[in-house]
Structure 1
């Protein structure tokens, strides 16, 4: 069944391209598999690019590091936000130029900084003095941008506290970076993953702009603003079309920051989520008592094998079965492992066909982001999520 409200905008979700459905219908899958369509990645890249205009897209590799996706984006002219030595190596292996890679993690191993510098990466993120010292020691004269905390976020998946620093510290870090021989170029931030409406950027942007202008008032020459990610995918809640969404964000940026010389954007989910469909299977449909209002539906995939973002029921994936169209009833959706935390949706049960039984196929739409990367190596003996690229 599809949980799409009336009026929801889902140009890439309302009808999956025929080659994806045709492929799934023509094949059997012995275990959970995500089928990825690189054509959809390319299409979404150009939709976002049309709205972002002069901003440079640095794909957030962590969303899905599948080599075929990276290769497709390299061919389209994308740049990349890498969080580790491994992600940098993956990008380089697919033909990305080092100048198009930003080492965006603010917590880096010293040897990984040296590796990145050695292969030609010259742009690094930091949010503390000790991190700047590591960068200065192992990437001399590199460009750095300071990540700022975002205190207010309306995102479905906020990214607060762990990364970034407050405005006062950020100003100090700009000065320290220059004293260390580095080239401080600007700031970065992240409004939070799955920020469904562009208007939700208003408060974070206004707060970041205060620090931006304070830095300029102190004489710092700022040439880079990294607006991070937050671009949404369709999970059942209304979202704006990607081009209009991105253009709206850019209009806010220009109004508040005075058209910075260089703008980076780091879409991950918003670029690849709608390019993937997980093919899963029902293992069991049962009740805990004769008068239970909701059935328990156990799938062969759960929170430890690719659906980690159902934590707190934050991400509401769209489900379809071959039996859609008939009577439905509420279900608690759970995974296959022997861990009691392996429950995806219970507070807000999903509606599934009443005649659903073990062996039925379930398609989980828009699962191209943060599924393969969150899949365990084999918790409880269940294999990692398989990947098929078409």
Structure 2
């Protein structure tokens, strides 16, 4: 079915976004800053005991960073380029964490020289680089977690280490003159199973207890990463339900001795604020008896929709056209055969859909403009507007 607007936006928000969109040439992303502000306030209200470190990679636009800076957010940074952008906006280095576990020694020093003192790690060689390039800094170790089957965009295996190695690294951090500060995990982006946090927090408690009892190390922080869902096609619980359950897990495992809690939201703060607007370029069938039309748009995997890879993230797609629906294949405009967004999961679109009609991709504020390629086939990066 065509998505119902009211399931994704208030009528006032949608009317404001669409009125603006109607004046612009496709493709582009339009983002409602009021929605970002509301999402941030909802998150802080749901987790009043937590510190928010916005994952800059989700949408690094100055308009987003400035808004969140002024609302008191901290920032999770993955590169020297993100660091420079955030510092240029007047954010103090004390509000920054270098959350990437894969980093060059000279980049660690770059962060250190600019005042950053909190670093993520998950490997001995990286830890030794931190000890040398950022002496005395706080480090937190990222652990592997489960949840790959219930997250639409899984993150494990590339990042993190097993529990026993995490403990070894935290002991080594102490011995190298660093501060073994805490443990981090990420249960996977767009995580629909709240229980994934329960299992991860249980692992963290074990690390805290073992290091305290056997090695005299008192860890002070849990970084729970992101994972809270945006509003796509697949139904999820609301943020309040996530917060209620996760808070219960923390209280069961840590009681009155709850450490500092850090959250690193990206998708959940920004996605619902955006609509990506595209235009139909071509409609065709692959044979006279083909059961499904192919609908080609002027936006695709390489211009912001890379999260449709393996059809993982299913964005709601809306059109003004009405009438009988037929399932279609949705594909992008480039000459790369991988530029197909949805082929197995067919989208129902009106039979009277025509070339030059517009498609509105809901909940696309995060991981679209930041993923957009530069001049593949000569197409420019995705234009983004903020209202």
TM range (shorter): over 0.9
Tell me, yes or no, if structure 1 residue 240 matches structure 2 residue 237.
yes
Q: Aligned to 1:214, what secondary structure does the other structure show?
A: helix
Are the aligned partners of 1:71 and 1:95 in contact in 2 as well (CA < 8 Å)? no
Query: Could you say which residue in structure 1 is the equivalent of 2:35?
Result: 40
Tell me, yes or no, if structure 1 residue 383 matches structure 2 residue 376.
no
**1:11 Cα deviation after fit:** 6.0
Query: Could you say which residue in structure 1 is the equivalent of 2:260?
Result: 262
What is the alpha-carbon distance in structure 2 between the residues aligned to residue 150 and residue 299 of structure 1? 37
What is the alpha-carbon distance in structure 1 between the residues aligned to residue 362 and residue 12 of structure 2? 10
> Counterparts of 1:331-370 in structure 2 under 5 Å?
331-370=328-367
Query: Could you say which residue in structure 2 is the equivalent of 1:327?
Result: 324
> Counterparts of 1:235-314 in structure 2 under 5 Å?
235-258=232-255, 259-314=257-312
Query: Could you say which residue in structure 2 is the equivalent of 1:162?
Result: 158
Are the aligned partners of 1:53 and 1:247 in contact in 2 as well (CA < 8 Å)? no
Alignment partner for residue 206 of structure 1, among 198, 202, 213? Answer: 202
**1:361 Cα deviation after fit:** 0.8
**1:239 Cα deviation after fit:** 1.9
Query: Could you say which residue in structure 1 is the equivalent of 2:126?
Result: 131
**Aligned residue pairs: how many?**
384
What is the alpha-carbon distance in structure 1 between the residues aligned to residue 235 and residue 287 of structure 2? 36
What is the alpha-carbon distance in structure 2 between the residues aligned to residue 51 and residue 386 of structure 1? 33
What is the alpha-carbon distance in structure 2 between the residues aligned to residue 21 and residue 256 of structure 1? 47
Are the aligned partners of 1:55 and 1:265 in contact in 2 as well (CA < 8 Å)? yes
What is the alpha-carbon distance in structure 1 between the residues aligned to residue 306 and residue 93 of structure 2? 31
What is the alpha-carbon distance in structure 2 between the residues aligned to residue 141 and residue 12 of structure 1? 47
> Counterparts of 1:175-214 in structure 2 under 5 Å?
175-214=171-210
**1:381 Cα deviation after fit:** 1.4
Q: Aligned to 1:194, what secondary structure does the other structure show?
A: strand
Query: Could you say which residue in structure 1 is the equivalent of 2:69?
Result: 74
Alignment partner for residue 110 of structure 1, among 89, 105, 108? Answer: 105
What is the alpha-carbon distance in structure 2 between the residues aligned to residue 67 and residue 247 of structure 1? 32
Are the aligned partners of 1:282 and 1:362 in contact in 2 as well (CA < 8 Å)? yes
Query: Could you say which residue in structure 2 is the equivalent of 1:2?
Result: 2
**1:186 Cα deviation after fit:** 0.8
Are the aligned partners of 1:279 and 1:361 in contact in 2 as well (CA < 8 Å)? yes
> Counterparts of 1:3-18 in structure 2 under 5 Å?
3=3, 10=7, 12=9, 16-18=13-15
Q: Aligned to 2:222, what secondary structure does the other structure show?
A: strand
**1:214 Cα deviation after fit:** 2.4
Alpha-carbon deviations, 1:220-250, whole Å to 9, x = none?
2010000000010011121222233223222
Are the aligned partners of 1:10 and 1:239 in contact in 2 as well (CA < 8 Å)? no
Scaled by the length of structure 1, the TM-score of the pair is: 0.94
Alignment partner for residue 172 of structure 1, among 165, 168, 173? Answer: 168
Query: Could you say which residue in structure 1 is the equivalent of 2:219?
Result: 222
CA distance change for structure 1 residues 95 and 248 in 2, over 3 Å: closer, same or farther?
farther
Q: Aligned to 1:346, what secondary structure does the other structure show?
A: strand
Alpha-carbon deviations, 1:165-212, whole Å to 9, x = none?
101111111111111110011100000000124334233333333333
Tell me, yes or no, if structure 1 residue 57 matches structure 2 residue 52.
yes
Q: Aligned to 2:169, what secondary structure does the other structure show?
A: helix
What is the alpha-carbon distance in structure 2 between the residues aligned to residue 4 and residue 237 of structure 1? 14
Q: Aligned to 1:18, what secondary structure does the other structure show?
A: helix
What is the alpha-carbon distance in structure 1 between the residues aligned to residue 17 and residue 111 of structure 2? 37
Are the aligned partners of 1:11 and 1:241 in contact in 2 as well (CA < 8 Å)? no
Scaled by the length of structure 2, the TM-score of the pair is: 0.95
CA distance change for structure 1 residues 328 and 90 in 2, over 3 Å: closer, same or farther?
same
What is the alpha-carbon distance in structure 1 between the residues aligned to residue 319 and residue 81 of structure 2? 37
